[in-house]
């Protein structure tokens, strides 16, 4: 994954999706629509089954697993929504994800700035530190990380104790995506700012940051989604009231294993924030991922 | 920084010195927070893992019980770990072998002009956006032996499901996990391949069409070769992800039944935070890292290097010229 031309791909969002021209070949033959329907059914089937299962009772599910709700019951969803734990988990997930995102984006854009626009000895070496960091999976370091955070830093079971390492592991991809993005902004801007007597730090604040908004949104969305879905690190670091949604879902499912309908309702509600966020940020997520891959 | 006139050199060089210092300070100011965070939470834990791997340590007190490479021998002689490595490799291979043709087929399908294309692309990506845990919990319910919908549907068409359930049968559990992983990650392959298809110049299709090539011929001789770099990079990401597999296995099977689905990650969590064998976990971490690194380097040398070889580069350049 060499980074230098990732900026080319940062434009992916604008060229992907519905704006592109259709290919000259083929078209929608019945076969194509048929296959598409099968793909859609297999993709959404499990999710929809979970959503509908939440509207059934355990008796209904036991009697006919593949039936539809009849009658529809709201009890499962109401039960989850009126209980305190769901909202507590959602709050924890939100705070951890926001902290992770803010730290990742602020530190990432700061580090990417000199790497993109200063000339100094050791610049490429410094950049390589982050590139190599892409290869380090968090799993490898998970046990020492656990010891570091719970024993040395005494940050076990805190929001920031999860957000800091998550941000650290999100930094490589952030720097790798942002550097070419910042480097692509025209040199003339910097020269004009210098003529006006603006310092480089002033240039960073007043010109570079506003212009690199799209790039920061992309890396921010990636960091947010990564944190929102994370399991392993929160599993080791957070207990009881501090648990995030994935932990809450997993624990609810094992504690209420016989309450299938309840598990479906809880899982469905836990899916909603991620799905809404995805629909709102779809282009950014897809663009960021394709940028990271093709870069 | 700038060329200076002869006169007033003293003044300028003094200004140069202070501006050079100023520049260094600025660089330090911008880079330090990220570097410090990275050093503390990424580099230091990795070094610690290496250090722990040569001690016997139960999680408290100083590191005194130096055991040399004995933890590594323990890990490598542990059938559970060896099986875990094999399971990881099966997942690596299985994911690529299944998702590559399927993902490619769906991407080619979605690349045709058709009604509802945008919606289809959104839908296919939904499983990827869900947390692995959430997808896992839903699938766990679907796969239940008695009241699970999958066995029920199979029964209604006269097929018999395994008695202990898909996840309860040691022969089937790993393959079941692989199916669920395919469901979860196929969307990523499709989206990346679709993005790669955007860069295939329209002119090539038009030329092929003028030459009377069929749709299949065009896909085989133009689209798939030009998609090569995207597919190779996707396979690399897929491989790294499969080697780290934890969440889905932990939710679906916890590594069981009878250790038939353990991965290196579940092994080192079991040894580390569950059994307090931090030295063993450290050794397993180092082995996992070495395996990942060796595979990454080999892949880079054998497969990805094709994308940077001169002939390919010139072809890319030509492609760009065509686009312009």
pLDDT, residue A10, reads: 33
Domains annotated for chain B, with CATH where assigned, are: 32-66 (no CATH), 80-323 (1.10.3720.10)
pLDDT, residue B82, reads: 96
B249 touches chain A (CB under 8 A): no
A120/B27 touch (CB, cutoff 8 Å), yes or no: yes
A36/B116 touch (CB, cutoff 8 Å), yes or no: yes
| C-alpha separations of A276 from A105, A229, A267, B144 in Å | 22, 14, 15, 29
pLDDT at A205 > cutoff 90: no
pLDDT at B242 > cutoff 90: yes
Residue B183 — pLDDT band, cuts 50, 70, 90?
very high
Range among A214-218, B143-147, B247-251 rated most confident: B247-251
Instruction: Calculate mean pLDDT across residues B186-207.
Output: 84
Distance from A201 to chain B by nearest Cα, in Å?
8
Query: Do the beta carbons of residue B183 and residue B124 sit within 8 Å?
Result: no
Instruction: Calculate mean pLDDT across residues B54-80.
Output: 87
- Name the β-bridge partners of B55: B66
pLDDT, residue A266, reads: 93
What residues of A are in contact with residue B292 (Cβ under 8 Å)?
135, 137, 140
Residue predicted with more confidence, B116 or B98: B98
Instruction: Calculate mean pLDDT across residues A246-266.
Output: 90
pLDDT, residue B225, reads: 85
B50 touches chain A (CB under 8 A): no
B45/A141 touch (CB, cutoff 8 Å), yes or no: yes
The chain-wide mean pLDDT, for chain A, equals 82
Residue predicted with more confidence, B307 or B125: B125
Percentage of chain A exceeding pLDDT 70: 88
A278/B244 touch (CB, cutoff 8 Å), yes or no: no
Distance from A204 to chain B by nearest Cα, in Å?
10
The DSSP code sequence of A249-276 is HHHHHHHTTT-HHHHHHHHHHHHHHHHH
B62 touches chain A (CB under 8 A): no
B243/A137 touch (CB, cutoff 8 Å), yes or no: yes
pLDDT at A104 > cutoff 50: yes
pLDDT at A212 > cutoff 50: yes
Query: Do the beta carbons of residue B187 and residue B309 sit within 8 Å?
Result: no
pLDDT, residue A28, reads: 57
pLDDT at B8 > cutoff 70: no
B191 touches chain A (CB under 8 A): yes
pLDDT, tens only, A48-89: 999 999 999 888 888 888 888 888 989 899 988 998 889 999
Tokens 């955007």 identify what position? B198
| C-alpha separations of B70 from A142, B55, B77, B79, B284 in Å | 21, 9, 10, 16, 12
pLDDT, residue B264, reads: 94
Percentage of chain B exceeding pLDDT 70: 89
User: In this structure, how many other beta carbons lie within 10 angstroms of the beta carbon of residue A228?
Assistant: 22
Distance from A27 to chain B by nearest Cα, in Å?
5
B236 touches chain A (CB under 8 A): yes
B182 touches chain A (CB under 8 A): no
CA nearest B291: which of B250, B245, B251, B233?
B245
B28-32, B58-62, B290-294 — which is least confidently predicted? B58-62
Chain B, nearest residue to A17 by Cα: B118
- CA–CA separation, B70 and B64 (whole Å): 15
Which helix (DSSP H) or strand (DSSP E) does residue B155 occupy? helix B149-156
A49/B138 touch (CB, cutoff 8 Å), yes or no: yes
User: In this structure, how many other beta carbons lie within 10 angstroms of the beta carbon of residue B95?
Assistant: 22
- CA–CA separation, A183 and A113 (whole Å): 8
What residues of B are in contact with residue A103 (Cβ under 8 Å)?
37
Residue B85 — pLDDT band, cuts 50, 70, 90?
very high
B5-9, B179-183, B227-231, B250-254 — which is least confidently predicted? B5-9
A16/B198 touch (CB, cutoff 8 Å), yes or no: yes
pLDDT, residue A27, reads: 52
Domains annotated for chain A, with CATH where assigned, are: 6-10+31-294 (1.10.3720.10)
- Name the β-bridge partners of B66: B55
Here the ipTM equals 0.82
Residue burial A201-216, b: 16+ Cβ < 10 Å; e: rest: eebbeebbeeebeebb
pLDDT, residue B15, reads: 62
What residues of A are in contact with residue B306 (Cβ under 8 Å)?
none
B31/A114 touch (CB, cutoff 8 Å), yes or no: yes
The C-alpha angle with vertex A174 and arms to B286 and A132, in degrees rounded to 5, equals 35
Percentage of chain B exceeding pLDDT 90: 34
pLDDT at B129 > cutoff 70: yes
B131 touches chain A (CB under 8 A): yes
Residue B13 — pLDDT band, cuts 50, 70, 90?
low
A274/B296 touch (CB, cutoff 8 Å), yes or no: no
């Amino acid at each position: 994954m060499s980074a230098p031309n990732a900026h080319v791909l940062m434009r992916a969002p604008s060229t992907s999706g519905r704006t592109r021209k259709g290919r000259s070949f083929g078209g929608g033959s019945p076969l194509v629509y048929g296959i598409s329907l099968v793909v859609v059914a297999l993709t959404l089937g499990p999710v929809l089954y979970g959503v509908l299962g939440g509207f059934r009772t355990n008796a209904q599910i036991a009697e006919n697993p593949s039936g539809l709700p009849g009658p529809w019951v709201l009890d499962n969803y109401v039960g989850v929504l009126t209980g305190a734990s769901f909202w507590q988990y959602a709050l924890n997930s939100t705070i951890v994800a926001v902290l992770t995102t803010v730290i990742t984006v602020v530190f990432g854009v700061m580090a990417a700035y000199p790497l993109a626009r200063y000339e100094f000895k050791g610049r490429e070496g410094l950049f390589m530190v982050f590139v190599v960091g892409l290869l380090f999976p968090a799993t490898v370091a998970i046990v020492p990380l656990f010891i570091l955070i719970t024993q040395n830093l005494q940050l076990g079971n805190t929001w920031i104790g999860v957000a800091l390492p998550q941000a650290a592991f999100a930094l490589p991809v952030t720097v790798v995506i942002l550097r070419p993005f910042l480097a692509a902004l025209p040199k003339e801007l910097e020269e004009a700012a210098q003529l006006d007597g603006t310092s480089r730090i002033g240039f960073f604040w007043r010109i570079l940051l506003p212009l690199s908004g799209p790039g920061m949104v992309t890396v921010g969305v990636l960091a947010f989604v990564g944190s929102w879905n994370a399991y392993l690190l929160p599993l080791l670091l957070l207990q009881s009231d501090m648990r995030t949604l994935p932990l809450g879902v997993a624990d609810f499912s094992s504690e209420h294993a016989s309450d299938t309908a309840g598990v479906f309702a809880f899982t469905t509600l836990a899916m909603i924030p991620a799905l809404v966020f995805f629909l709102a940020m779809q282009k950014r997520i897809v663009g960021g991922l394709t940028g990271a891959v093709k870069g | 920084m700038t060329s200076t006139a002869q006169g007033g050199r003293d003044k300028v060089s003094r200004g140069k010195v202070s501006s050079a210092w100023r520049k260094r300070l600025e660089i330090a100011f911008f880079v330090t927070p990220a570097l410090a965070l990275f050093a503390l939470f990424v580099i230091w834990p990795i070094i610690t893992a290496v250090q722990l791997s040569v001690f016997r340590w139960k999680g408290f007190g100083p590191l005194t019980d130096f055991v040399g490479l004995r933890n590594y021998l323990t890990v490598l002689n542990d059938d559970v770990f060896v099986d875990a490595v094999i399971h990881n490799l099966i997942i690596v291979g299985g994911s690529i072998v299944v998702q590559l043709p399927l993902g490619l087929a769906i991407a080619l399908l979605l690349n045709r002009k058709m009604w509802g294309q945008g919606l289809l692309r959104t839908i296919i990506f939904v499983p990827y956006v869900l947390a692995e845990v959430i997808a896992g919990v839903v699938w766990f319910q679907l796969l239940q032996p008695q009241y699970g919908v999958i066995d029920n549907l199979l029964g209604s068409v006269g097929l018999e499901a395994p008695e202990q359930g898909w996840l309860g049968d040691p022969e089937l559990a790993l393959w079941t996990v692989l199916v669920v992983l395919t469901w979860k990650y196929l969307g990523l392959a499709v989206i990346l391949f679709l993005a790669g298809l955007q860069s295939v110049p329209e002119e090539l299709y038009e030329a092929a069409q003028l030459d009377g090539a069929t749709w299949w011929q065009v896909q085989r001789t133009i689209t798939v070769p030009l998609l090569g770099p995207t597919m190779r990079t996707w396979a690399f990401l897929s491989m790294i992800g499969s080697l780290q597999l934890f969440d889905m296995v932990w939710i679906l099977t916890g590594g069981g039944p009878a250790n038939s689905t353990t991965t290196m990650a579940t092994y080192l969590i079991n040894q580390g935070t569950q059994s307090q064998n931090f030295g063993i976990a450290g050794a397993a971490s180092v082995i996992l890292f070495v395996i990942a690194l060796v595979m990454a380097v080999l892949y880079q040398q054998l497969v990805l290097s094709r994308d940077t070889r001169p002939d390919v580069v010139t072809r890319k350049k030509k492609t760009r010229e065509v686009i312009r």
